[in-house]
Amino acid sequence: MGVRQVEEYEGRIVEFLDEETPQLGLVLRAGKERVHLLDERGREGSVSVARIYLVHAVKPAERGEFPQLVETLRAQIEARRREIDLDLLWEGVRGQEREYALAELTEQYFGAASTIEQAAMMRALLEDRFYFRRRGMRFVPRSPEQLEQLRHQEAQRQQRAQFKERVVNWFRFVLASAELVEVSEEWAGVLERVEDFLLRRQVNDVARWLTEVDEERTAREVAYEVLVKTGRLEATADPFLLLAGLDVAFRARAIEAADRLIPFAGASDRVDFTAAWTISIDDEETEEIDDALSLEPAANGWCLGIHIADVAHYVRKGDVLDEEAARRGVTAYLPTQRVLMFPERLSCDLASLRQGELRPTLTLALEVDDQGNVHEATLVPGMIRVGRRLSYEEADRLIVEGEGETGRRLGRLLRWAQRWADERFQQGALWLRRPEVKVRVHGGQIRVKRIDPGAPSRFLVSELMILMNRLAAEHAARRGIPIIFRVQDPPAHPLQDELRAQLRAAYDPLGIEQIVRGLQRSRLSLSPQPHAGLGVSAYTQLTSPIRRFADLVVQRQIRAALIGEPYPYEREELLNVLATAETVEREMRALEQRAQRYWLLEYLRHLPEEMEWDAVVIKRARSGYEVEVTTWLVRAFLTANVELAPGTLLRVRREHCDPKSGLLRVRLA
């Protein structure tokens, strides 16, 4: 197409392809390779000359006539378009498999090739899926064999579409049924594919169709309910495990790798703490014990050992167990069961600091005087033998009674922990520890237990783990060990010491709510920086390597420095590895919270309706208030026509409780 021809487009109505759609446009200005035009939707833009395939004879006298001319042209084109039978056209040209220009095919069919007829033919050809294929602005008739294959494929596509519609409608019928749905042989195969998706995480056509069943529910939620209502899943099956796609069972190769591990038998290159008074304190049902404490008299006071299970002794970066742990990210604790990060042989046996067993550790050895002053701190590869395993309740009793060697030493550790907590408080530390309601489901029975994080033994263990993480971070910073530090910037507005002291003394849900709004989010960093919320100058996390993959990564780096091995992770790699681990962990913690709320509401739903609970107003919400039911440490919605200030203490009763939606509504007692 010459330059002079393009220039003649100005003021004319042309047809061009907008992707695969024919459009009409009024050329305002023509260039050598592109034209500036007004399209039929009233928008100006530029189009490549190569995409223009037709110039209409009609020419508007002025720009304002263009919309009316478009309507006229469209009506004329559509009238001719309805006359076209591409099967008839194909029969006339199919013997010659060559390229045809638009005008040739139009003349072949109509006996003439006006612009209106060509425009109609272009629309028919663009809509065609069978008879012709397009090459640029020219068309090639398909062979009879190609046409037959395309028709067969189209028939199959229509069959699939019809089958999909039947399946989606049947799923909706199942969801709406109040009774168990009997499954005919026809639907059994469909349900097998639903099982493949939900239980074995295999994506298939049926799995994709599940997304169209109910816009309010995810595909996994629909799959779960369909399988329950058709009897393929027990109604008691844990929906949270299934919906999250969590595998309780490990893959065979991970089990085999754990079974091949050799139990630790001692090593001469480790510091031997086996003769020291050593205890572990954990929940009674816990089997994967990450940490233990030892305390022995020394020349200038005491030698305190904080011992962390040396999981890196068993699991190397990139091996089968490492891949499994990285995929799981964390041990998840659901009311119905736990989902371990490592197979039981490793997490509950070989690595767990079990009573009476020789175990490898990463140990922080501290020289401490009677007043709790730390004179020296050393990180070493160690080995221990726990002399006594205590539950938190047993440890609290021994601390209160203060009798016997264990009681006296626990009391000493508690006094030191209180001093170290005071020092952190002076550096701005915040106490945001909420009491916890632990919900467990066994044999259909729901048990609810309230846990106070301020109980002596829980406070003691928490403070010593903070100390371990802080001193490990400082050690890494001094020696240039590449690890990930946990950083939190100070609040935008300084917090009053009085409010911080109040939160440290007692749990205050409203006070925590006010403080959390002003806190900066913690973040990961390759360089040591203060953690404002903990009141420390540097912080990392490595005290739960059996249960948190991120902790294992940090442990590996520090352990490598101690024993003179190359670092498993380069600095640049660390952020990616830990950011991924953090994302997985956040998802698992969110899952735990949803499951916890579900089963707690299921428990509350069966309590007597007249039972009264304590609550505190948190904030106004919609036509009522968000309150915390302090009896159960759960948030609820209160409908009330009275004015209530945040912090107001109330007595409430259950009004509506729906575990599935997570809704708890209460009313004033």
Specify the pairing of strand 663-668 against strand 634-639: parallel
Q: Is the pLDDT of residue 38 over 60?
A: yes
Phi-psi region of 370 (alpha: psi -120 to 50; beta: other; left: phi over 0): alpha
Residue 620: both structure tokens together: 């106004």
Q: Which domains does the chain have, with CATH numbers?
A: 3-144 (no CATH), 145-237 (no CATH), 252-596 (no CATH), 607-668 (2.40.50.140)
Mean pLDDT, rounded, for 37-53: 89
25 neighbors 38 (Cβ within 8 angstroms): yes
The CA distance from 331 to 338, in Å, is: 7
Phi, psi of 453 (to 5 degrees): -65, -15
- For every residue of 474-531, DSSP letters joined together read HHHHHHT---PEEEBPPPSSPPPHHHHHHHHHS--HHHHHHHHHHPPPPEEESS---B
Above 70 in pLDDT, residue 454?
yes
Of 89-98, 435-444, 623-632, where does the model show the most confidence? 623-632
Q: What is the pLDDT of residue 1?
A: 42
Q: Give the whole-angstrom CA distance, residue 27 versus residue 454.
A: 78
In 4-21, which positions are buried (b, 16+ CB within 10 angstroms) versus exposed (e)?
eebeebeebbbbbbeeee
* pLDDT interval class at 6 (50, 70, 90): low
Q: What is the pLDDT of residue 309?
A: 98
| pLDDT over threshold 60, residue 3 | no
pLDDT tens column, 83-137: 999 999 998 888 777 899 999 999 999 988 899 999 999 999 999 989 999 988 8
Task: Report d(CA 373, CA 423) in Å as an integer.
Answer: 11
Task: Give the residue carrying structure tokens 């309150």.
Answer: 627
**pLDDT of 2 higher than 80:** no
Over range 212-241, report the average pLDDT: 86
pLDDT at residue 504, rounded to an integer: 85
Per residue in 458-505, pLDDT tens? 999 999 999 999 999 999 999 999 999 999 998 877 777 888 888 888
Chain position carrying tokens 């007829």? 117
Q: Is the pLDDT of residue 582 over 60?
A: yes
Which pLDDT score is estimated for 207? 86
pLDDT digits (tens, 9 = 90+) for 366-379: 999 999 999 999 99
Amino acid letter, residue 342: F
Q: Which band of pLDDT confidence, cut at 50, 70 and 90, is reported for residue 611? A: very high
Give the 3-state secondary structure of residue 630: coil
What is the SS3 assignment for 415-474? HHHHHHHHHHHHCCCCCCCCCEEEEEEECCEEEEEEECCCCHHHHHHHHHHHHHHHHHHH
Q: Quick one: pLDDT at residue 541?
A: 96
Residue 201 has pLDDT above 90, yes or no: no
Span 139-197, pLDDT tens digits: 999 989 899 999 999 899 899 999 999 999 999 999 999 889 999 888 998 999 998 88
* Spatial CB neighbours of 304, under 8 Å, sequence gap ≥ 6: 293, 294, 295, 365, 366, 368, 413, 416
Mean pLDDT, the chain, as a whole number? 91
- Whole-prediction pTM: 0.74
pLDDT of 7 reads 67
pLDDT tier at 5, thresholds 50, 70, 90: low
Helix (H, G, I), strand (E, B) or coil at 606: coil
* Interval 224-239 mean pLDDT: 85
- Tell me how far CA of residue 239 lies from CA of 220, 336, 441, 658, in angstroms: 10, 10, 13, 15
**Structure confidence at residue 668 as a pLDDT band (50, 70, 90):** very high
CB 7 within 8 A of CB 30: yes
Tell me the pLDDT band of 603, cut-offs 50, 70 and 90.
Answer: very high
Q: What is the pLDDT of residue 500?
A: 83
- Mean pLDDT is highest, among 60-74, 173-187, 269-283, for 269-283
**What pLDDT sits at residue 298?**
92
Give the whole-angstrom CA distance, residue 559 versus residue 575.
18
- How far does CA 303 lie from the centroid of its chain? 42
